[in-house]
Structure 1
Amino acid sequence: MDRFDRKILAALHENARISFAELARRVNLSAPAVADRVAKLEQSGVVTGYHARIDPNRIGLPIACLIELTVKHLEYYLVIEQIRNTPEVIECASITGTSGLMIRVAVDTMPALQALIARLMQFGDTKTSIIIDTPVPPRMPMLSEDE
């Protein structure tokens, strides 16, 4: 990956809907060269998709939480499947430490959060933290410089 690829990734991360013409202008390459590089980044698995970032608060889900779930080992894959099918879950990571899963959820009311926690408690112990702010929103990982 060279400096052009890094610039392309940064621009796509900022605006995934950018045209190849505008992207070419920003990185100082031709549009066909940019299109070829983007295709290679997609084929190699560096770019895995293009997504709209949705603000849950603006669609009626103002309560965002992180729930740590300590899962009983024998039920881990059953729990993962249940979590995949839980609409309030917007992200889930398997983590090290005493907890097995870190689950990010968005709900509309405190009773809805309480009901969700009650459902999750059947799989193990929970620890819930309400997100009050996101001072560092999702961002692109730092890319290494050319050698």
Structure 2
Amino acid sequence: MQALHENARISFAELARRVNLSAPAVADRVEKLERAGVITGYHAAVDPARIGYPIQCLIELTAKHLDYFAVIEEVRSMHQIVECFSVTGSTGLMVRVVVDSMPSLQALIARLMQFGDTKTSIVIDMPVTPRLPPLPGGE
């Protein structure tokens, strides 16, 4: 699964070679993982800076309790928000945003502030890129 996570475009033949199985056996295992919901999709990794969004931030949003579901709907409609997590603690929501400029960030923060308090942290580096947790059985 690690090889598939690193390169979702790898052929079953190449994947089979790496794990010492036949291509049909690998295809069968991948299909089972998809059906079980372990593999939920295949995605291209895109560098936001290369498509015009050089600024990445994490914004904590402490949404007013009664407005929570309305806030979620608003957040879903904001294209600058690329991830949103509902978290424990006083924050409520943690969003990752990408913007093209500081004025765009300022406008986004102002829009979010109508729903509650915000705390913004600008991402300067990503020392750990998205990765899989250790797999059971060392597969």
TM-score category of the 2 structures, normalised to the smaller one: over 0.9
Of 30, 43, 48, which aligns to 1:51?
43
Aligned partner of 1:4 in structure 2 is none
**2:5 aligned with 1:13:** yes
**2:106 aligned with 1:114:** yes
- Partners in 1 of 2:71 and 2:45 — Cα distance? 27
Q: Which runs of 5+ in 1 are unaligned?
A: 1-8
Letter paired with 2:41: G
Q: CA deviation at 1:59?
A: 0.7
**2:120 aligned with 1:123:** no
- Partners in 1 of 2:16 and 2:120 — Cα distance? 45
Aligned partner of 1:74 in structure 2 is 66
Aligned partner of 1:97 in structure 2 is 89
**2:53 aligned with 1:26:** no
- Partners in 1 of 2:134 and 2:115 — Cα distance? 36
Moved beyond 2 Å, runs of 4+: none
3-state SS in 2 of match to 1:102? strand
- Partners in 2 of 1:142 and 1:29 — Cα distance? 21
**How big is the alpha-carbon RMSD for the aligned residues of Structure 1 and Structure 2?**
0.8
**2:52 aligned with 1:60:** yes
Aligned partner of 1:6 in structure 2 is none
Q: CA deviation at 1:141?
A: 1.3
Q: CA deviation at 1:144?
A: 2.5
Q: CA deviation at 1:128?
A: 0.2
TM-score by length of 1: 0.92
**2:37 aligned with 1:37:** no
- Partners in 1 of 2:94 and 2:134 — Cα distance? 23
- Partners in 2 of 1:97 and 1:70 — Cα distance? 10
3-state SS in 2 of match to 1:13? helix
